[in-house]
Amino acid sequence: MPSLKDESITKLYYSIGEVAKMFEVNNSLIRFWEKEFDILKPKKNAKGNRLFTQKDVDNLKIIFHLVKERGFTLDGAKKKLRENKLDSTPNEEIVERLKVIRGFLVELRDNL
């Protein structure tokens, strides 16, 4: 019988600290984005602590990608999300393939 530690556990809710750590940003930036982007709707417990669902984390990934990686302004990111959310989502498979190709090309160059 496998132990509990061996099984992957999916959390229903993440604290603001856990979410901030995922994106390597401050808690205050997550709170700021929550106010700026209406697609972020974390629940709050009796103490008022924010509880982020996986959907919130997925939306934060899109916001992070647009603002931090692609350099969109907040207004530009909001507009992009309204126009086409799916087009805004980073395609991780393509990025991974490009990294492999880049590694191959760097190795090829070094061997010349």
Q: What is the mean pLDDT of each run of 10 residues along the chain (112 residues)?
A: 50 93 95 93 92 92 90 91 66 74 92 88
Quote the pLDDT of residue 42: 93
Cα–Cα distance, 6 to 4 (Å, whole number) = 5
pLDDT of residue 83: 80
What are the backbone angles phi and psi of residue 43, rounded to the nearest 5°?
-80, 160
Q: Which residue segment(s) compose the domain that 85 sits in?
A: 4-110
At residue 106, the pLDDT reads: 92
> How many distinct structural domains can be found in the chain?
1
Residue pair 60/33 in contact (Cβ under 8 Å)? The answer is yes
Residue 4's pLDDT is what?
Answer: 46
Cross-strand pairs, 16 = none
The enclosing domain of 15 has a CATH number of 1.10.1660.10
